[in-house]
């Protein structure tokens, strides 16, 4: 049984769409299935990651979301005898879904904020805390909704920490920083000067730069190897382990939010793209994370004091950790696979 994923990754788009598709592909693979990724844009790091996981990558030489793209994706799906086509990206809308359905394909559409005018996919998956049925009032009668944190797609590595329990130390000293797979605006670089001003005994800061980050050379100069408090890691494949190590995380408010919750990690979130706003605000309202103001100037001036206060307050970190952990379990990917397999047999 095969899944064909149609998604994109670039420095501008980021890698979040592919990473959550990767989580579903891994779960499908673990259940004995096969996954193929069809992509018009894929950074070298993303393509290498997918191939290293045993997934085939097919390049689509057509504008994402176009009519021609839809026809080519349908052709690939039929060629691969795909049980489902999984579509993830803001380039894909109502017409794209309808075109795939016109070829009698089963379609799973991953969504965040109800950006399509009409939904004709068999399944619409919105894994966010702010997901609402009202986003999808304009849908076909057969379109089924998978909404909310019950369906969070977590990668395989997080399953290894299922029974692990976080301990909250009196004073935090270990900080993990990740601004996504690409970070085109170099928010990481804006944060570094503030992080260097932190006051904590035996402070350790691990900065993760994604494999598609275009500012690696700049970050290497900004974080000299001679500063023993800082480590710069590139294109890591052990994010769950790093989250378990950290006392606090400073992160872009993308799909990594749900990994942070699953690992019960106190966090400060930075909204680096407009589509992250709803999720970040909802997490803050639930007391599961705190938000930094957007904009380089505000981030530079507010991140240090807010992070310092969080490191010093065991009570605040305990509260964030407990509330985050209540939101996300480790079974979302398995639940989605079970739905796909069940509907495949109908």
| pLDDT per position as a tens digit, 230-243 | 999 998 999 999 99
Which helix (H) or strand (E) segment is 7 a member of? strand 2-7
Angle subtended at Cα 60 by Cα 58 and Cα 61, rounded to the nearest 5 degrees: 140
- Structural domain for 95, as ranges: 2-154+330-344
| pLDDT per position as a tens digit, 182-206 | 888 899 999 999 999 898 889 999 9
Same domain, 192 and 139: no
- Nearest Cα to 250, choosing from 215, 198, 201, 211? 198
Same domain, 219 and 85: no
Helices (H), the chain: 16-30, 44-52, 67-79, 94-102, 187-196, 216-222, 239-245, 256-262, 277-285, 296-312, 314-327, 332-344
279, two tokens: 């999720």
Min mean pLDDT across 6-15, 217-226, 333-342 is at 217-226
Same domain, 143 and 269: no
Same domain, 30 and 68: yes
Same domain, 273 and 180: yes
CATH number at residue 58: 3.40.50.11190
Residue in the block written with tokens 């106190």: 266
Edge-first strand listing for the sheet containing 290-292: 230-234, 204-209, 174-178, 248-252, 267-270, 290-292
Instruction: Give dist(CA 258, CA 154) in Å, integer.
Output: 8
Same domain, 313 and 300: yes
Instruction: Give dist(CA 112, CA 90) in Å, integer.
Output: 9
161 Cβ contact partners less than 8 Å away, ≥ 6 residues apart: 240, 244, 262, 263
Query: What is the pLDDT, as a whole number, of residue 273?
Result: 84
CATH number at residue 222: 3.40.50.2000
Same domain, 89 and 187: no
> How much is the CA Rg of the chain, to the nearest whole Å?
20
pLDDT confidence tier of residue 180, bands split at 50, 70 and 90 = confident
Instruction: Give dist(CA 88, CA 67) in Å, integer.
Output: 16
Instruction: Give dist(CA 45, CA 23) in Å, integer.
Output: 17
Same domain, 315 and 337: no
Q: How many distinct structural domains can be found in the chain?
A: 2
Same domain, 216 and 262: yes
| pLDDT per position as a tens digit, 273-323 | 888 898 899 999 999 999 987 776 788 888 999 999 999 999 999 999 999
102, two tokens: 């016109």
Same domain, 41 and 60: yes
- Nearest Cα to 78, choosing from 98, 59, 102, 111? 102
Q: For residue 276, how many other CB atoms are within 10 A of its CB?
A: 24
- Residue 197 sits at φ, ψ, to 5 deg, of -90, -5
Same domain, 173 and 295: yes
Same domain, 65 and 207: no
Instruction: Give dist(CA 280, CA 291) in Å, integer.
Output: 7
Q: Indicate if the pLDDT at residue 67 is higher than 90.
A: yes
Query: What is the pLDDT, as a whole number, of residue 223?
Result: 86
């Amino acid at each position: 049984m095969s899944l064909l994923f149609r998604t994109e990754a670039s420095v501008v788009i980021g890698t979040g769409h592919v990473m959550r598709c990767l989580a579903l592909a891994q779960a499908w693979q673990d259940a004995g299935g096969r996954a193929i990724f069809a992509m018009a844009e894929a950074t070298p790091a993303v393509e290498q990651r997918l191939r290293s996981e045993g997934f085939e990558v097919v390049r689509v030489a057509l504008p994402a979301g176009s009519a021609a793209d839809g026809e080519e994706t349908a052709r690939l799906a039929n060629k691969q005898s795909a049980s489902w086509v999984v579509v993830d990206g803001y380039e894909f809308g109502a017409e794209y879904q309808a075109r795939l359905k016109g070829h009698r394909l089963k379609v799973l559409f991953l969504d965040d904020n109800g950006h399509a005018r009409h939904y004709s996919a068999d399944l619409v998956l919105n894994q966010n805390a702010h997901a609402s049925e009202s986003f999808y009032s304009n849908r076909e009668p057969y379109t089924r909704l998978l909404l909310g944190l019950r369906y969070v797609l977590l990668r395989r590595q997080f399953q290894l920490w299922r029974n692990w329990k976080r301990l909250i130390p009196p004073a935090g000293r270990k900080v993990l920083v990740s601004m996504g797979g690409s970070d085109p605006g170099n928010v990481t670089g804006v944060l570094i000067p503030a992080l260097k001003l932190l006051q904590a005994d035996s402070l350790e800061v691990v900065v993760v730069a994604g494999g598609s980050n275009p500012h690696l050379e700049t970050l290497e100069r900004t974080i000299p190897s001679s500063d023993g408090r800082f480590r710069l890691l590139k294109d890591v494949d052990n994010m769950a382990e790093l989250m378990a190590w950290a006392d606090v995380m400073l992160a872009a408010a993308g799909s990594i939010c749900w990994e942070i919750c699953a690992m019960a990690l106190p966090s400060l979130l930075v909204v680096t793209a407009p589509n992250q706003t709803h999720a970040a605000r909802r997490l803050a309202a639930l007391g599961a994370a705190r938000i930094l103001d957007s904009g380089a100037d505000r981030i530079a001036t507010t991140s240090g004091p807010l992070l310092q206060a969080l490191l010093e307050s065991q009570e605040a970190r305990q509260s964030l950790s407990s509330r985050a952990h209540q939101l996300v379990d480790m079974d979302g990917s398995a639940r989605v696979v079970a739905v796909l397999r069940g509907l495949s047999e109908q």
